[in-house]
Structure formats: structure tokens, C-alpha cells
């Protein structure tokens, strides 16, 4: 599992050098893929420094995390489904 979290950290470090403007320029459809509604609640990850690679790394780390990570799985699955 440590290897999976190191991959997440590498992705985070890589995204640290990128602005949100650049992420939107690279991916004009990012809002559609990185946000969803749950009733009246809008969950919008498009304005966070995350991309498809970082999302995949986070999902792998959470999948290896055991039962304590279960609360994150549904959200990551929802976002991942839109990012692919």
C-alpha cells in the first residue's frame, strides 16, 4: 500500500507545478467530468488540482486501504467514471 500512496504523492507533486487555468485549458470538459450532483448538493472537484492520472492513483491507493477507506470509494468511483 505504501507504493500506492507514493504514486499519489508523485502526482500531487507534479500537479503542484500546474495552475488551475492550465488544467482547464488542457481539459475544457473538466467540470463535466469532475463534478456531480447529489440532490441539491454540487460536488465540484474541477477547481482542485487533480487530473485523470492523480484520480487513478488515489483510487488505487484507496482500493488498497481496506475497510477504513470504504467511505472514499463511492466518491472516487463517481468521479473516475466521468474522467475516463
Average pLDDT, the chain: 81
Local confidence band at 84 (pLDDT 50, 70, 90 cut-offs): very low
Task: Name residue, grid cell 507514493.
Answer: 6
Q: Indicate whether 6 pLDDT > 60.
A: yes
What's the CA gap between 14 and 8, in Å, rounded? Answer: 10
Q: pTM of this prediction?
A: 0.64
Q: Indicate whether 83 pLDDT > 80.
A: no
Mean pLDDT on 12-24 = 91
**Is 12:28 a contact under the CB 8 Å cutoff?**
no
- Torsion region of 27: left, alpha or beta (phi above 0 gives left; psi -120 to 50 gives alpha): beta
Mean pLDDT on 63-70 = 65
Amino acid at each position: 500500500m505504501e507504493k500506492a500512496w507514493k504514486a499519489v504523492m508523485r502526482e500531487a507533486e507534479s500537479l503542484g507545478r500546474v495552475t488551475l487555468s492550465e488544467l482547464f485549458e488542457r481539459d475544457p470538459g473538466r467540470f463535466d467530468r469532475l463534478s456531480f450532483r447529489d440532490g441539491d448538493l454540487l460536488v465540484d472537484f474541477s477547481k482542485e488540482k487533480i487530473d485523470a492520472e492523480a484520480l487513478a492513483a488515489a483510487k488505487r491507493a484507496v482500493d488498497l486501504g481496506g475497510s477504513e477507506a470504504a467511505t472514499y470509494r463511492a466518491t472516487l468511483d463517481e468521479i473516475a467514471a466521468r474522467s475516463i
